[in-house]
Structure formats: C-alpha cells, structure tokens
C-alpha cells in the first residue's frame, strides 16, 4: 500500500521525520518496501511566465516565445502548444533537464532555424497525468512564484511510502489505520476524524433516501446509500489529483476520485452510481446463473448463484465489494448520484474473487475485513466531499440490513507478555498501548473489548502480539531455551561425525551406499589375507569369517547388480574390518561397469580406471580434513613387504596415499583380475579403501579459517617440460615444483605425459604448469627467472632435466 508523508500527517500529529517514521513502521510489523520522492525528478523545472508569443518565421504551427524563468534575462523558446500565449504562466524545462514523460534530456537546439533554450511542458511530459493537449497553465495566482522550483510550488516534494500489509492487518489498509498504529507506538497523536473533515460542508438532507435493499444477508449484511442531486462532475482539484497520482492511481473525475480517496485514506471502499442509468431501485442479491457484467476494467464476467451482486430491475451493475459495472458509472454528464456504502462478508468476497480471477483495491480491503461500524461515518464523509467538490443537494440515508457490530471481548492477561512474548512490560503500559490501538480494557483489568476494525484478534495471545510489536520486537532479549528433562544432549563422537560427513560426500559424488554382512566365507576372505577371527558355530559356511576388508561384500554386490543389467555400479560402505589387533573403521568404494555410456559425441562407452579410484580417494580424504597437498603416493605393499592384502590390487595400476612413509591413509586402484575372477566379475573393477582411524584429527583452534581476501593482482602461470626416468612418479615432480618457492608458488599441476619420438629410451617427458601469485606488486623479469631457476633446481634433485 502506498501513501504520502503529507497524507499520513493529516491523521497523525507528529514531528518525526521520514526516517523515524519508516523505521517505526518496520519495527511495528508494517514493513517498508520503499520510499520515493516524485518531485525529485522534476527538480530542474521552474515556474515561468510567457512574456511574448510571436509566429515562427518558418512553421505555421510553431511560436517563438520569450519566457521569464526567473533568470537574469528572458529565454527564447520554440513551442508548438496551441494554448501558448503571452501572459500565461506554466512550467519551464531548461537545457540539461530530463523530461520523464518523453525520455530525453533537453538541449539548446535549432528548430526550423530558430534556437530554442528549453521547453514549456505539458502534464504528460512531466508524468503528472495524461493530458497532452497543451502546456500546463498555472493561473494568475502563480504570478509571484515565477522562477520558483515547480515541485516546491506544486507541493510535489512529498515522499511516497510503500508498505507491505500482512493479511491480518486489515485495519492498516487505510492511512488512518497506519497513523493509529504509529500513535500507539509513541510516534505522535492520532487526530480526531472530525478535525480532519471539519471544514467540509455539513449535510442538510432533503427528500427521501434512495431505494436500496439487501436480499443476500449473508454476502451483504448491510447496504447503506445516499443520493446527491444536481452535482457537477468534472476533474478533481489539483490537490486530490496530486495525491492519487503520487500513489500510482489515475485521476478520473471528481466523483470517482472521491471514492478512491476515502478508500485509501480511511480504508472504506465506496461506489458511485449514475442514477440516470438505473432502472428502479438497487438490491444486493445472489447472481442468477449465467448473468453477465461488463466491469470497469472493460472485461465481461459470467456470474453464478454463489456470488453477491448489486442490481436494479433490469441488470447487474456491480460485483458486490469487488468491482462496479461500466453501464452505471459516473461520467461528465452525471447530475444525480447514488453513493453506496455497504458491508460485504470477507469469505464471500474471497471466494468470488478467486472464481472470477478478479482483483481490485476494494476486494483487497473487503476480503480482509473492513470496519463494519464505519458505514454511517464513511458514507457521511464521502457525501460531504461530493458536496464540497461537485455541489448538489443530499437526500436522507437509506439503511438496509444491519452490519455485524456486536462487541467481542477477549481475556487480558498482562503476565503473558513475559511468558509468551519474552519481554517484561508492566500492566499499565500494556493498557495504555491497547487503549491507543482502540481496545477498551474492563474496569477489573481482566478483559478487553476488541475494536470493530480488528477482525484478526481472537484471544489473549493476539493482545500479547500487539503489545510486543508496539514495544518493539527488537527489545525481546535473545536467550537460549532451557534444556528440558528428557531432551538428550548431543552424543555424536568425532568419529561418528567424520563418518557422517564421508557418507554425504560419497553420495554427493554419485555413489550408492551399501550395507553388507560383517561375516563372509573363507574363500572370500582368502584373497585378503584370510580372516583373523573365525566363528566356531556360524549360521552357515558362507558367514564363517569376520571380514578383513569391506571389499568382498562390495564386490559380491557389484557382481549381483551387473548380472541384473546395471550398466554402471558405484557402491560405497562405511563399516568395520576385523584384524588380529582389533576392528578398524573403514570406508570402501567399488566402481565397476561403464563410467560414461556411449554417445554420438563421446563414441564408445568408457570404463573406470585407477585414476578414477585415486580421484575418489583424494576427494573423500579432503572432505575428511586430511592434508591432501602433503600426501605421498606410494605402491601398495605386497606380501614380501609385510602387506597381507597386497595381492588384492593390480600391480602398476594401484597405490597408497600416505602422510609420511608409514602412515597409510588410503589404498586405491584396480582390483587384481584374479580377485575379480573369484567373485565371478567379468568387468574390471576400481576400488578405494580409506582407513578412517589413520586420518589425523583436526586440532582445536579458534576460528575455522580467516576471512577470504582475494588477491589484488592476477596470478601468473609458467610451463615447464622435464625429461625424467620412466619410473619416476609424476606426483613427486609436481610436489617438488610446488615446494620450490612456497612464498610465490601457489599451485602446480601435470598437464602432459609424452613418450616417443624425441624422448630417449627409458625416459618420459612430464609437462607441468606452475601458478605464481604476486603480492603487493607484479613480478619483474628477474624475479620470474629466479623462481623458474628454483623450480628447475628442485626437479633436478629427482634426476629431471629441462627439455630443450
């Protein structure tokens, strides 16, 4: 909902500025979505007087004006407006001013050979309305304001506040309701309504009221109306047009603008009918199936018997509480009007609007619930505005039906502000807040009568909400909830947290978790060094040995899946393997089948290899917090080196990741074909075993990591190609290059391996990319050469030589 600061201050006596008001609105639950000042974009435009108007020497429809814009000398302006003439006062745009309605910036320009220093502006060009027949005429009363900023003269420097109204705050769908809330929050005093409308003409009724009645007492319990005869309908006054334009509504005519003004200002939707277009009296009734209405939005709606309408003897003229019809709307020729002020049931309005997919300002207010006790006063204010702006003679008021105004009381429990709202507010302060909001506290202080405009208040908790939001939700202290008896404390150990993180990482990388038996057969355990623990009385011979590895169960599961048509198998399991010195927590991964299927771009399907297993191992170790940058890649120990499971892995296509030469964190690579054959697997299988108990625990520190500060300078890359012995591991070369200058080298990676023509027998060429990160200044050529020399020297320790 939008409204101007000046409009708000008509209802609220306050010295608060726009910043204090917007802060208070958000604090009490009326979130400010934006504030804009429509006069700012017109700050360059001034009030100006046309001194002379002469015909253009080379154009029949143009005039050459001499304009006094308040400067030292008159300005020459070429103008094509038909109403431009000597002596008139209008709005002048100087060179450099941006014309919002036309979208261009004014410049000194020659028009048909005559230089023009700006322009006299129309209403549309300044986005103040749709009129474009001529330039703005301000009238003789603007004589003393020549040279004054036009937004200041026209009162356009009135900030527009856009507030998001929640569905339960139906009372704030009018400016007065928002003013009431701000007054309750201590930001001023709510002015009496009569003090605002007191200057309007008093009503002296003549003649009987209009013929209106309600036959649908559920949809329209109350239908009040008053006629005004002999009105003159034309454009509304400038102050009213400015107010509606500021909030995005288009001024139409005085009669229509009055209804919009009352709706936005007081939250009371109204409708005006041209009595000359009615056939007989008006009745609120259910629509007949198939009845149609051409609404004010130029769309025709087909109605049904669940919808409340306002109709005369001939046709439907209004979808009750949502939108009026085109056939009976007020026009320039209207002389006799009927002002409708009715109460429509919110539920009926909501259902009708949903069925017709029709929204309007009236629907937004009626379906939330308008004040049912404001019928007489709302109708009176609208009638007085019609008399003030359009003249005429009012009739008596016809009141059909009765609005639901029975008083409602809820229990008032001041102690609930602390127990439910979490804030200490003394009972007296609570009573004052609720009284300012319109509640009436009983003499014994145990109940509160709810005002008619607060349909949402149903119990004592709602009163607590009102008190807390007025005191300020920011005043509610942040306190941890006490741990109640029976609520378990966190019990996950670091090991359990690590396993949980690794499960998520493996699943995120596309693997499916498996749970296999901890018992396997002796034949399945044999390739893995046999079982250290054997059951004397097993369930079956196939479940006799406690597993020395998780791989047997995963290999058996992979075999079952592949034989049932699975094209690709990615399985992982977190569990225990049972060795002679106890159980060991382990995560194992098995990759079998197709890594990627065949396709028109890739060609043949690709299979998993040892590098895929290494990638999985490094990713999982990184998730576990292991220092992957410091890990060594070493062969899997065979039986000769004391490795009981060495024969499980394919020689030359497997390895281990170690933190130091002895601490093995993981084994990875291709499973030996002999082992896959024993599990009846026709596919090559890649696998990983992570030894979770070997991963070093994180040290307890303060912050997890320092705040990320991106470097100011771009990184620099340098490529090196080395000749090394064929048995030198590429990872050793990459690690040596990265450690050659730790202050400047931030990364190194292998990007090419080559053997063949030009490479000696027993040698291979390894190409690496080294990334350098400058600090406060860019590297000089000398510095880059020094770093390169360090890389070459570090590689030379491995027997590597730089290729020519």
Q: Are 134 and 1 in contact (CB under 8 A)?
A: no
For the stretch 654-672, what's the b/e string if a residue is b when 16 or more beta carbons lie within 10 angstroms of its beta carbon?
bbbbbbeeeebbbbbbbbb
Q: Are 394 and 339 in contact (CB under 8 A)?
A: no
Question: What's the confidence (pLDDT) of residue 702?
Answer: 55
Over residues 181-186, mean pLDDT = 94
Q: At what angle do helices 781-796 and 730-738 cross, to 10 degrees?
A: 140
Annotated binding site: which residue ranges?
A: 456, 462, 465-466
Question: What's the confidence (pLDDT) of residue 638?
Answer: 60
pLDDT, tens only, 292-306: 999 999 999 999 999
Question: What's the confidence (pLDDT) of residue 705?
Answer: 65
The CA-based angle 509-561-535, given to 5 degrees, is 100
Residue 437: which pLDDT band, with cuts at 50, 70 and 90? very high
Query: Which residues is 161 bridged to in the sheet?
Result: 3, 35
Q: Is the dihedral of CA 410, 412, 418, 421 positive or negative?
A: positive
Give me 176's structure tokens. 């007065």
Give me 590's structure tokens. 């098995």
Residue 304 DSSP one-character state: -
State phi, psi for 105 to the nearest 5 degrees: -100, 135
Q: Which CATH superfamily is domain 716-802 in?
A: Ferrodoxin-fold anticodon-binding domain (3.30.70.380)
How far apart are alpha carbons 462 and 457 in whole angstroms?
6
Query: Which residues is 764 bridged to in the sheet?
Result: 724
How far apart are alpha carbons 628 and 734 in whole angstroms?
13
How far apart are alpha carbons 718 and 737 in whole angstroms?
11
Question: What's the confidence (pLDDT) of residue 641?
Answer: 43
Average pLDDT, the chain: 92
Residues of the chain with CATH 3.50.40.10: 212-401
How far apart are alpha carbons 356 and 287 in whole angstroms?
13
**Which class would CATH give 2-38+159-191?**
alpha beta
Question: What's the confidence (pLDDT) of residue 139?
Answer: 84
The CA-based angle 213-214-216, given to 5 degrees, is 165
Question: What's the confidence (pLDDT) of residue 156?
Answer: 82
Residues of the chain with CATH 2.40.50.140: 40-154
pLDDT above 90 coverage of the chain, percent: 80
The listed CATH number (3.30.420.40, 3.40.50.300, 3.30.56.10, 3.40.50.620) that belongs to domain 408-475: 3.30.56.10
How far apart are alpha carbons 527 and 525 in whole angstroms?
6
How far apart are alpha carbons 16 and 459 in whole angstroms?
33
How far apart are alpha carbons 121 and 660 in whole angstroms?
83
pLDDT, tens only, 99-113: 998 889 999 999 999
For the stretch 544-579, what's the b/e string if a residue is b when 16 or more beta carbons lie within 10 angstroms of its beta carbon?
bbbbbbbbbbbbbbbbebbeeeeebbbbbbbbebbb
Distance of CA 394 to the CA centre of its chain: 50
Query: Which residues is 34 bridged to in the sheet?
Result: 162
**Distance in angstroms between the alpha carbons of the first and the last residue of the chain:** 75
Domain 494-694 has CATH 3.30.930.10: yes
Q: Are 1 and 162 in contact (CB under 8 A)?
A: yes
Query: Which residues is 35 bridged to in the sheet?
Result: 161
Residues of the chain with CATH 3.30.930.10: 494-694
Q: 28-32, 196-200, 708-712: lowest mean pLDDT where?
A: 708-712
Query: Which residues is 750 bridged to in the sheet?
Result: 768
Q: Are 106 and 97 in contact (CB under 8 A)?
A: yes
Residue 804 has pLDDT above 80, yes or no: no
Question: What's the confidence (pLDDT) of residue 157?
Answer: 84
Using CA atoms, how far residue 202 sits from 256, 263, 277, 335, 777, in Å, is 21, 21, 28, 20, 81
How far apart are alpha carbons 251 and 256 in whole angstroms?
8
| Dihedral angle of Cα 642, 647, 653, 655, to the nearest 10 degrees | -30
Residue 382: which pLDDT band, with cuts at 50, 70 and 90? very high
Over residues 746-763, mean pLDDT = 91
Distance of CA 746 to the CA centre of its chain: 38
Q: Which residue, among 313, 318, 314, has the nearest Cα to 329 in the 3D structure?
A: 318
How far apart are alpha carbons 57 and 61 in whole angstroms?
10
Residues of the chain with CATH 3.30.70.380: 716-802
Over residues 442-470, mean pLDDT = 94
Over residues 655-666, mean pLDDT = 92
Q: To which residue do tokens 């309750």 refer?
A: 184
Question: What's the confidence (pLDDT) of residue 13?
Answer: 96
Question: What's the confidence (pLDDT) of residue 645?
Answer: 46
Largest distance between two CA atoms of the chain? 121
Question: What's the confidence (pLDDT) of residue 647?
Answer: 80
Give me 617's structure tokens. 């191992």
Q: Which residue, among 721, 753, 726, has the nearest Cα to 737 in the 3D structure?
A: 721
136 Cβ contact list (under 8 Å, min separation 6): 90, 91, 120, 121, 122, 123, 126, 128
Q: Which residue, among 443, 24, 400, 19, has the nearest Cα to 224 in the 3D structure?
A: 400
Q: Which residue, among 541, 548, 535, has the nearest Cα to 521 in the 3D structure?
A: 541
Q: Are 289 and 308 in contact (CB under 8 A)?
A: no
Annotated binding site for Mg(2+): which residue ranges?
A: 456, 462, 465-466
pLDDT above 70 coverage of the chain, percent: 98
Question: What's the confidence (pLDDT) of residue 491?
Answer: 84
Give me 445's structure tokens. 């202080």
Q: Are 766 and 727 in contact (CB under 8 A)?
A: no
Question: What's the confidence (pLDDT) of residue 646?
Answer: 55
Query: Which residues is 724 bridged to in the sheet?
Result: 764
We find that the CATH architecture of domain 40-154 is: Beta Barrel (2.40)
Question: What's the confidence (pLDDT) of residue 644?
Answer: 45
Q: Is the dihedral of CA 86, 89, 90, 96 positive or negative?
A: positive
How far apart are alpha carbons 742 and 747 in whole angstroms?
9
Q: Which CATH superfamily is domain 212-401 in?
A: Phenylalanyl-trna Synthetase, Chain B, domain 3 (3.50.40.10)
Residue 38 has pLDDT above 90, yes or no: no
Residue 266 C-beta-side C-alpha neighbours within 13 Å: 26
pLDDT, tens only, 52-75: 999 999 998 899 999 999 988 999
Give me 660's structure tokens. 């130091």
What's the pTM? 0.61
How far apart are alpha carbons 412 and 257 in whole angstroms?
42
Would you tell me how many other CB atoms lie within 10 Å of the CB of residue 800? 23
Specify the 3-state DSSP secondary structure of 440.
Answer: strand
Would you tell me how many other CB atoms lie within 10 Å of the CB of residue 429? 15
How far apart are alpha carbons 30 and 470 in whole angstroms?
11
Which of residues 179 and 140 earns the better pLDDT score? 179
Question: What's the confidence (pLDDT) of residue 709?
Answer: 81
Question: What's the confidence (pLDDT) of residue 379?
Answer: 97
The CA-based angle 717-719-721, given to 5 degrees, is 165
Residue 391, sorted as left (phi over 0), alpha (psi -120 to 50) or beta, turns out to be left
pLDDT, tens only, 580-631: 999 999 999 999 999 998 888 878 999 999 999 999 999 999 999 999 888 8
CA-derived radius of gyration, the chain: 42
Residues of the chain with CATH 3.30.56.10: 2-38+159-191, 408-475
Which ranges of 369-445 does DSSP label H, i.e. alpha helix?
Answer: 375-390, 416-419, 427-436
* Highest mean pLDDT out of 235-249, 632-646, 674-688: 674-688
């Amino acid at each position: 909902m939008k409204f101007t600061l000046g409009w708000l201050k008509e209802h609220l006596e306050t010295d608060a500025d726009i910043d204090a008001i917007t802060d208070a609105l958000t604090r009490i639950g009326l979130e400010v979505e934006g504030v804009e000042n429509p006069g700012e974009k017109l700050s360059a435009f001034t009030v100006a007087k046309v001194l002379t108007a002469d015909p253009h020497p080379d154009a029949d429809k143009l005039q050459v004006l001499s304009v006094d814009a308040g400067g030292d000398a008159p300005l020459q302006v070429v103008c094509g407006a038909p109403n431009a003439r000597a002596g008139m006062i209008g709005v002048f745009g100087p060179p450099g001013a941006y014309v919002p309605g036309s979208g261009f910036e004014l410049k000194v320009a020659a028009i048909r050979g005559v230089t023009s220093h700006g322009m006299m502006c129309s209403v549309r060009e300044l986005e103040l309305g749709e009129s474009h027949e001529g330039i703005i005429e301000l009238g003789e009363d603007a004589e003393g304001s020549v040279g004054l900023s036009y937004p200041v003269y026209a009162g356009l420097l009135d900030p527009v506040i856009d507030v998001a109204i929640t569905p339960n705050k139906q009372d704030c769908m009018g400016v007065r309701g928002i003013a009431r809330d701000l007054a309750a929050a201590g930001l001023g005093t709510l002015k009496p309504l009569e003090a605002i409308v007191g200057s309007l003409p008093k009503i002296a009724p003549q003649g009987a009221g209009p013929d209106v009645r309600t036959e649908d007492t559920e949809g329209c319990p109350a239908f009040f109306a008053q006629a005004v005869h002999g009105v003159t309908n034309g454009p509304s006054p400038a102050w009213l047009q400015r107010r509606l334009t500021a909030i995005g509504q288009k001024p139409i005519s005085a009669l229509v603008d009055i209804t919009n003004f009352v709706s936005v200002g007081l939250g009371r939707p109204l409708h005006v009918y041209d009595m000359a277009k009615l056939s007989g009296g008006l009745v609120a009734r259910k629509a007949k199936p198939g009845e149609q209405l051409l609404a004010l939005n130029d769309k025709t709606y087909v109605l049904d018997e669940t919808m409340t309408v306002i109709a005369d003897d001939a046709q439907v003229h209004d979808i009750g509480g949502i939108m009026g019809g085109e056939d009976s709307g007020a026009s320039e020729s209207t002389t006799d009007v009927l002002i409708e002020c009715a109460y429509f049931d919110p539920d009926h309005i909501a259902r009708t609007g949903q069925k017709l997919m029709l929204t309007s300002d009236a629907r937004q207010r009626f379906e939330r619930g308008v004040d049912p006790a404001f019928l007489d006063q709302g109708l009176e204010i609208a009638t007085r505005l019609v008399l003030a702006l359009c003249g005429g003679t009012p009739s008596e008021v016809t009141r059909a039906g009765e609005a639901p105004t029975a008083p409602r009381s809820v229990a008032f429990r001041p102690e609930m502000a602390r127990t439910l709202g979490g804030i200490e507010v003394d009972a007296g302060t609570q009573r004052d807040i609720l009284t300012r909001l319109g509640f009436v506290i009983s003499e014994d202080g145990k109940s509160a009568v709810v005002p008619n405009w607060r349909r949402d208040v149903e119990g004592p908790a709602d009163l607590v909400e009102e008190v807390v939001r007025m005191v300020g939700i920011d005043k509610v202290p942040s306190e941890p909830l006490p741990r109640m008896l029976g609520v378990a404390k966190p019990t996950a150990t670091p090991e359990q947290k690590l396993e949980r993180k690794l499960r998520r990482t493996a699943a995120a990388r596309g693997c499916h978790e498996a749970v296999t038996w901890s018992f396997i057969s002796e034949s399945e355990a044999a390739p893995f060094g046999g079982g250290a623990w054997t059951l004397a009385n097993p369930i079956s011979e196939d479940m006799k040995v406690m597993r020395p590895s998780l791989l047997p169960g995963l290999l058996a599961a992979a075999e079952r899946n592949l034989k049932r048509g699975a094209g690709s198998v990615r399985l992982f399991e977190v569990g225990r393997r049972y060795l002679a010195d106890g159980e060991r927590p382990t995560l194992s991964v098995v990759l079998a089948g197709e890594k990627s299927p065949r396709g028109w771009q890739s060609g043949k399907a690709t299979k998993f290899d040892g590098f895929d297993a290494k990638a999985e191992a490094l990713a999982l170790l990184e998730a576990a917090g292991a220092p992957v940058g410091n890990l060594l890649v070493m062969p899997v120990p065979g039986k000769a080196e004391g490795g009981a499971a060495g024969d499980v892995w394919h020689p030359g296509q497997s390895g281990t990741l170690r933190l130091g030469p002895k601490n093995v964190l993981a084994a990875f690579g291709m499973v030996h074909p002999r082992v896959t054959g024993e599990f009846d697997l026709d596919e090559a299988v890649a696998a990983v075993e992570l030894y979770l108990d070997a991963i070093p625990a994180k040290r307890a520190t303060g912050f997890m990591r320092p705040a990320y500060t991106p470097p100011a300078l771009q990184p620099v890359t340098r490529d090196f190609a080395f000749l090394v012995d064929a048995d030198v591991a590429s990872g050793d070369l990459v690690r040596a290059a990265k450690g050659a200058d730790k202050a400047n080298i931030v990364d190194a990676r292998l990007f090419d391996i080559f053997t063949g023509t030009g490479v000696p027998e027993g040698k291979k060429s390894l190409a690496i990319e080294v990334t350098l990160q400058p600090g406060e200044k860019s590297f000089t050529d000398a510095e880059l050469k020094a770093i390169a020399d360090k890389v070459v020297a570090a590689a030379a320790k491995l027997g590597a030589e730089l290729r020519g």
